[in-house]
Amino acid sequence: MTTPDTGSEGTFCLVLHSHLPWLPHHGIWPVGEEWLYQAWAHSYLPVVDLLRRFADEGRRDVLTLGVTPVLAAQLDDPYALRAMHDWLGTWRLRAEHAATLWGDDETRSDLAAYEYRAAAGALDDFGTTWRHGFSPLLRSLVDGDTIELLGGPLTHPFQPLLDDRVRSFALSEGLADTELRLGTRPRGIWAPECGYAPGMEAGYAAAGVERFLVDGPSLRGDTAAARTVGDSDVVCFGRDLEVTYRVWSPKSGYPGHAHYRDFHTWAGEVGIKASRVTGKEIPPHAKAPYEPARAADTVGMHVKDFVDTVVARLRSLRERDGRKALVVAAYDTELFGHWWHEGPQWLEGVLRALPEAGVHVTTLRGAADAGHVAGPVDLPASSWGSGKDWRVWDGEQVADMVEANTALQRRLLAMDIPRTRRDPVADQAVREALLALSSDWAFMVTKDSAADYARRRAHEHTDRFDRLAAGYATGDPAVAGLAERFRRAAPFGRLDPRSL
């Protein structure tokens, strides 16, 4: 049965955005498949486990979960599933090695045992629950109304910088890919990077999208209700930054507490994060050992702080507006477990404590059904990136990439794609173009996070497109073998470019 709550204080929606660019077959360490497997082990496994337990309890409308098509493709991919199983086995071996090396140090020995239990549990969970991939698990959560699912464009491109035809194609193909995996076509999307340009709501309406998320400043901070956009019936929800930033902001948040596991510090001899944050100015070699029990106590403190923050915010908005309000807090799923080790524990604590505090916890769909929709707003060009504008994806540091992507789209649209039949070369050329247009590459360059890898990936996919398109245009028979080789390492076998 559904957990009872009166909703006397107002309504709260938690939105999680799950996304990684396509990583299989594109390097392993330090950037590449390792990124996928860490996020899978430390975020996706525990978050799905939490949601399955809520489902078993009869809880409905627990949260809104965005899963990008490109991430879903990786979590269903046979190669990635096999490699992930190997990675989990290696994690368990590393924990065993740590227990041997640290046997004379009680604190570290306890940590090795803690790590072993986590690795062994993940390996067992993966070998049973996840053996057929992610989509069967996700489908059960969607069909049982445990969550609301948000979809999105196929490869997570920054939509405002796309040609209208490419934008429409990427979105329709993304929604179709999700429908193929789950049997359900999402009615809501997480627009990549919350990127918006005036008029995009018309394309959303044409694609059957009923709701999407923007950052709070796009609504000038007035996020107490969703709003219809322009002349459309499409609804936008705004992140409440006063609440969201309590957890994680560009400058502070719970994960930086001294007791939590430090993300950046490794015990190199065993490949385990063995330290706690300790202090912002403490060098890695001087950080104190991680103590799970101490961290767990701190989680409880931060659960209470967040619940108090939500309740205070809802009361403040109700006093201002004279009606019950809505608070939407939204984060990357990878924050919970991958970046912030204790994040899944905090997540469960909050989702259990908020109803007990009189807060109605629901999904974006549930909030709309409950009447938290005001009416129309004209949104500005915006994103959730630095400055809340487009500078991360079209700024000076990535001007050459923007120019290259614009030219790539022109060449893509100039292809003479047959209408009456599928052509494997044309199919793969379009896949490569869409992979090149992923928003991740510009983000990584602007933020100087594995910028060389990002530039290499963007160039690689663009070069592959050009080679395939050139061979396709001239009828070169050799290009068929090249397309097949690229296809084996690429997602989206169902992609049909004829609608482009």
Residues annotated as part of the active site: 193, 332
Tokens, residue 449: 């996070």
3-state secondary structure the chain: CCCCCCCCCEEEEEEEEECCCCCCCCCCCCCCHHHHHHHHHHHHHHHHHHHHHHHHCCCCCCEEEEECHHHHHHHHCHHHHHHHHHHHHHHHHHHHHHHHHCCCCHHHHHHHHHHHHHHHHHHHHHHHCCCCCCHHHHHHHHHCCCEEEEECCCCCECHHHCCHHHHHHHHHHHHHHHHHHHCCCCCEECCHHHCECCCHHHHHHHCCCCEEEECHHHHCCCCCCEEEECCCCCEEEECCHHHHHHHECCCCEHHHCCCCECCCCCECCCCECCEECCCCCCCHHHCCECCHHHHHHHHHHHHHHHHHHHHHHHHHHHHHHCCCCEEEEEEEHHHECCCECCHHHHHHHHHHHHHHCCEEEECHHHHHHCCCEEEEECCCCECCCHHHCCHHHHCHHHHHHHHHHHHHHHHHHHCCCCCCCCCHHHHHHHHHHHHHCEHHHHHHHHCCCCHHHHHHHHHHHHHHHHHHHHHHHHCCCCHHHHHHHHHCCCCCCCCCHHHC
Report the 10 Å Cβ neighbour count for 287: 18
Long-range interactions of 173-179: CB distance < 8 A, separation 24+ = 173/69, 173/492, 173/495, 173/496, 173/499, 174/68, 174/69, 175/151, 175/207, 175/208, 175/209, 176/494, 177/69, 177/72, 177/73, 177/492, 177/494, 177/495, 178/67, 178/69, 178/72, 178/149, 178/151
Residues 6+ apart with CB under 8 A from 36: 20, 23, 24, 74, 80, 84
Report the 10 Å Cβ neighbour count for 214: 26
Nearest residue to 238 via CA among 221, 251, 256 = 221
